[in-house]
Amino acid sequence: MKNDNVRDNALFKTSHLMILIAYSLLSVALIAESLLMGWETWMVYIIGISVLGCWFMHVQNVLTPYQRLWVYSILMMVIAAFYGVHLTSTYDLVGVISVCIGLFTLTGVTALIYLWQVTYYLILAYDLVLMWSQDYPFDSLVISRTMLHVFLIVLVGWISRIIIRRWAEILYRSKDETEILQGATTRLNDFLANVSHEIRTPINAVIGLTDVCIEKVDNQDVQEDLISVKDAGKRVAEQISDILDYSEIDMKKLAVNVEQYMLSSVLNDVVTEMAYIKPKHLELIVDVDAACPAMMVTDVPKLKKILWHLISNGLKYTKEGGVYVHIYSVTREYGVNLCIEVEDTGIGMSPEEREHIYEHFYQGNSGRTRSTSGLGLGMAIVSGFVKVLGGFIIIDSELGKGTKVKVSIPQDVIDPSKCMSLKTKDDISVGAFLHFDKFVNLQVREFYNLMVKHIVQGLGVVMRWVETADKLRELTDNMELTHLFVGEEEYMENSEFIESLSKRMVVAVIANPNFCQVPWSKIRILPKPFYCFPVATLLNQDPSLEENRVGRLMCNGVKALVVDDEPMNHMVANGIFRRYGMEVFTANSGKESIAMCETDDYDIIFMDHMMPEMDGIEAMKRIRTVLSRRHKDVPIIALTANAVSTAKKMFLREGFNGFISKPIELSELERVLRKVMPKELCTDVFETEEEAYERTASKKTSAQSESNREATTSQEIMSEGVPEPDKTLSPLEQVAALGIDTKTGLYYCQKDEEFYRKLLLQYAGDAPKKQQDAEKFFAGNDYPNYEIVVHALKSTSKMIGAGKLSELALALENAAKAEDGEFIRTHHEAAMTEYKRLVDGIIKAYEEPAQAQKTEEVGNAEDSESNGEDEVMEFAPDDEPGNDSGGGNDEALEFLPEED
């Protein structure tokens, strides 16, 4: 067994070639000596033929390696015997035999060592007999030399056998240790699969339930805390995912699941996630070449993670400036190479750090380790993913001057057309009010200039770019623009003027995610990072449409069955799937789901994998059998925390229609729903921005009925007991004097005082009907309906900032639920009195017509003149050189693309 271990070792397999080479050299030397010494000529031919035959066996793999080794050995012993039988070589033979024994030690075969020793003894015995027959004098020198040579061969053989035995023991122990390590690795792999399920299950609950709670809770402080909990959960989920990716790379078990994808979709997902982790003081610039194919083939999750890790690493090690992402393609015979260049203005790397960048858990020097977070697996994961996708990665970095990473990944092309284009260019006239000099870092300015230039060249439009408000007025007065792109800071400084422009053209503000838009504003928001695909989408929309309609995926009436043994996951599923209008049913086990499918019909089934008694795969197959008997075909989706890369392929191979990993990403859920659900059950519901706002606001004031929409006049509800307001105070200050927290109210109105005024007046206008209903249900002891009324009062009061009344209404709501009539009778009158006091105060504060202020604001917006000195810069595509801006005598600066 031990010798088998030695023979299986790579070193001993290599020894076969070494022996063959030594055999060839020894044969050449023997042939030469035979010719010089006049030895038997016929033996020369035999030696030559045997050498050629051995090489033929080696090249053609005739016989097994072990069998060929014995053939080489026997032939070498034959030529050694031919050399030794000549008396002139008797005492030279010991050196040749010793070398041969040393070579054959590498084979690990002790039998060959014994055989070489026996060969030497036989040859020496033959020579001694021959010498005796020829009366050769056997003096003391001959006898001592003979004994010495015999002792040397015995010693060399003994040492060789000890070496082989010790190597065999070491290799035997190594094999045992290797088997132990392989077993541990297998157990670790199973452990990681279980960990991914067991840890991701509560993490899924944390993330999913916080999403649900965020929508339900109105308190800003509580919302912020819930968002922090959600972010922490996502961070843990990402780190678990990184550990699993690393383990698969390390064990060389990565599975490649290729699928068709659109670059725009992948970038949208990555950019959306990056927007929330990007530090506010850094810029993320995404520059995409429009010539990239519209649809390609690759492993999409791995491509997303490559982008994620490259960009997040750039942001992590950048203190000021930003990260520039340039994506383009290079045409090849097999399709294209998708090239991703990520350049940052960060701290850079020394040559020593670049050498270690791909090492697992490496995070640079100790200074970096202390100042950054993470597991140090990012670049190792990127390198592993790029390698398995057939690509390569190059890193160029200099300490203190930032880092540039280039990745190239081969892609099959499905649709070679451009990834973005415009329906028509003739009717589009684009302007830009962007002041890039506000960025202190010169590289960031250059990055933005490159991006704008590439957008213009890729879409083939002319963009007229100004940097001051005065020049913008001059441009809009002299040109009929259809679209205007404005920076967030530029908008904030000139909001009234830009809002007035939105009535004449499509105005898009490039803003950070936390930008608060004025309700009912017509401007469009392009969230940062600003890149080409949203621009192309906006330019392809009909500018004549006044409403910006947004699509929401809805699956109204769809019956969804969620199969999971974890009650928390049922809660998460209910909260998430009901958003899409689904009717959710739950089963606690695979057996229960089979029984439910035998008696009821469902439109879609979400199945967990790891469940007691019966796992999700077996349950899915049995449900398929039940459905086939009933002649029904229902999509079954694997909804599991198993995040190993081979999981998706395994679930699809087993018969699932789709795969969604926990925690549930809404974008991935919607993608799968669109793919597997019949079109008649999965539709897009479009609504205007105003309708979307009303829908969101209605969640906070859900108890208000349509009959309460008609506002009553101040004369009908004003009380004589309320003192006249202090006319020296503004209406907002008068409302605050009533005890209303106007800061809270303004927060819910996105800091828009005009909208807050409308909300207060509506609150007051709805009061008579609410008071009447409350009194009626109170008098009739109708607690269920009384609960509905005070619930609505609680929500609406909280929205305007009337915290005291909201808390009192909450107490009444809880009392109504418990049918505590004593508490209601004690506190009802106090609540109604406070309600009436607030309503009367609001009416008196806002009794002056609100339209006057609005008219004045519009007049101010139209009363501006242009007198700037700056030039209008014109970015033009190569097919429209020399296109004039049409405004004034300013010099136009054109940026023309290079010829393809």
- Segment 296-306, tens digit of pLDDT: 999 988 999 99
> pLDDT by residue (tens digit) across 684-737?
765 554 454 444 444 434 333 333 333 333 333 333 344 555 556 788 888 888
Q: Which of 472, 469, 467, 473 is nearest to 452 (CA)?
A: 467
Torsion of CA 554, 559, 565, 566, to 10 degrees: 30
List strands edge to edge, sheet with 483-487: 524-527, 506-511, 483-487, 430-433, 463-466, 873-875, 893-895
Average the pLDDT over each of 163-172, 187-196, 301-310 and give the range with the smallest value: 187-196
pLDDT score, position 568: 52
Q: How far apart are CA 475 and CA 784, in angstroms?
A: 62
pLDDT score, position 411: 93
Average the pLDDT over each of 42-46, 321-325, 786-790 and give the range with the smallest value: 786-790
Q: What number is the average pLDDT over the span 320-346? A: 93
Q: Is 242 in contact with 305 (CB distance < 8 Å)?
A: no
Number of residues that this document lists for the chain: 900
Q: How far apart are CA 531 and CA 455, in angstroms?
A: 8
pLDDT score, position 68: 82
Q: At what angle do helices 783-800 and 821-845 cross, to 10 degrees?
A: 40
Q: Is the pTM of this model over 0.85?
A: no
Terminal CA-CA length for the chain: 67
**All residues at 6 or more sequence positions from 78 whose CB lies less than 8 Å from its CB, including other chains:** 50
Task: Judge whether residue 206 has pLDDT over 90.
Answer: no
850 phi/psi in degrees, rounded to 5: -80, -15
Region of residue 77 (phi > 0: left; psi between -120 and 50: alpha; otherwise: beta): alpha
Where are the alpha helices (H) located in 481-615, listed in sequence order?
Answer: 488-493, 495-501, 532-540, 567-577, 590-599
Task: Judge whether residue 190 has pLDDT over 60.
Answer: yes
> pLDDT by residue (tens digit) across 817-831?
888 888 899 999 999
Distances (CA, A) of 319 to 316, 396, 444: 8, 19, 13
Element (H, E) at 340: strand 335-344
Q: Is 339 in contact with 206 (CB distance < 8 Å)?
A: no
Instruction: Write the burial class of residue 274 (CB in 10 Å: 0-12 exposed, 13-18 middle, 19+ buried).
Output: buried
> pLDDT by residue (tens digit) across 223-247?
788 888 888 887 888 777 777 787 7
**All residues at 6 or more sequence positions from 484 whose CB lies less than 8 Å from its CB, including other chains:** 430, 431, 432, 433, 476, 498, 501, 505, 506, 507, 508
Q: How far apart are CA 718 and CA 725, in angstroms?
A: 13
Q: What confidence category does residue 868 fall into, taking pLDDT thresholds of 50, 70 and 90?
A: very low
Q: What number is the average pLDDT over the span 563-592? A: 81
Q: How far apart are CA 663 and CA 575, in angstroms?
A: 13
Average pLDDT in the chain = 78
Where are the alpha helices (H) located in 718-867, listed in sequence order?
Answer: 731-737, 742-748, 753-765, 767-779, 783-800, 803-817, 821-845, 851-861
Q: Which of 773, 783, 755, 778 is nearest to 708 (CA)?
A: 773
> pLDDT by residue (tens digit) across 366-418?
444 444 445 567 788 898 899 999 999 998 888 888 899 999 999 999 988 88
Task: Judge whether residue 340 has pLDDT over 90.
Answer: yes
Q: How far apart are CA 37 and CA 29, in angstroms?
A: 12
Measure the CA angle with vertex 642, ends 659 and 557; round to 5°. 35
* Pairing outcome for strands 403-418 and 392-397: antiparallel
